[in-house]
């Protein structure tokens, strides 16, 4: 019986390692996902609302960009993303408990404008806390990068913008993550125990 528990533990460890290896690619299961068809209509509109969440292109007169791989950005300047003094505002009416955000299209720089940091941007959460992200830390496939808030935050607003003031800093926003609830983790644990039990019975 102990042998099978060992096998199970190894399988779990392998899954965790695989999960870490993919840590730099936007996962499919975001808590708030701007890549979904619900957000498709945002393209070429000044703002777009889905449920309690409204995204607005700033400054006034700007229009939203949307794509099913990159998420939201701002039209103009470079053809799609947040660049120049464009800003992407996200307002969540009653707030959502969120733990981080996935940025896309954020790359190192080949034009030499900022070879140290790469493309460089920030997000201001609830008008209080600023988190920075740089292209040198991104997966260079689609410029994916995860920005952690260092724990769950009740987020009511997020304001995305470039940093550094250069024209070629641009990025998109795929969406936000939520940390797994303790209840979810417990269910997962119970499920594993159950699986171990079934395995044991099956072997007898």
Binding site for Ca ion (CB under 5 A): 70, 74, 76-77, 83, 105, 119, 142, 170
**Residue placing its CB nearer to Ca ion in the complex, 114 or 170:** 170
Cβ distance to Ca ion smaller for residue 84 or 153: 84
Closer residue to Ca ion, CB minimum distance, 122 or 142 = 142
Distance of closest approach, residue 79 Cβ to Ca ion, in angstroms: 7
CA distances from 22 to 18, 102, 179 (A): 6, 13, 17
Instruction: Output the smallest distance, CB 103 to Ca ion, in A.
Output: 10
Q: Which is nearer to Ca ion, 33 or 170 (CB)?
A: 170
Nearest to 26 by CA among 180, 176, 149: 176
- To Ca ion, the closest distance from the beta carbon of 58 in angstroms equals 11
201 burial (CB, 10 Å; 0-12 / 13-18 / 19+) is exposed
3-state secondary structure of 122: strand
Helix (H, G, I), strand (E, B) or coil at 12: helix
């Amino acid at each position: 019986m102990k042998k099978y528990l060992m096998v199970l533990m190894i399988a779990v460890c392998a899954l965790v390692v695989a999960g870490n290896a993919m840590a730099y690619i936007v996962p499919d299961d975001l808590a708030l996902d701007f890549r979904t068809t619900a957000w498709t209509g945002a393209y070429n509109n000044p703002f777009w609302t889905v449920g309690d969440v409204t995204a607005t292109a700033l400054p006034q007169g700007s229009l939203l960009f949307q794509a099913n791989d990159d998420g939201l950005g701002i039209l103009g300047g470079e053809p799609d993303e947040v660049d120049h003094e464009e800003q992407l505002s996200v307002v969540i009416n009653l707030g959502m408990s969120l733990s981080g955000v996935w940025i896309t299209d954020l790359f190192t720089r080949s034009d030499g404008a900022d070879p140290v940091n790469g493309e460089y941007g920030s997000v201001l959460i609830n008008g209080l806390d600023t988190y920075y992200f740089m292209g040198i830390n991104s997966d260079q496939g689609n410029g994916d990068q995860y920005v952690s808030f260092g724990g769950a935050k009740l987020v009511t607003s997020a304001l995305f913008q470039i940093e550094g003031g250069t024209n070629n800093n641009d990025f998109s926003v795929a969406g936000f993550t939520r940390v797994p609830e303790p209840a979810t983790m417990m269910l997962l644990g119970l499920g594993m125990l159950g699986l171990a039990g079934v395995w044991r019975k099956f072997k007898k």
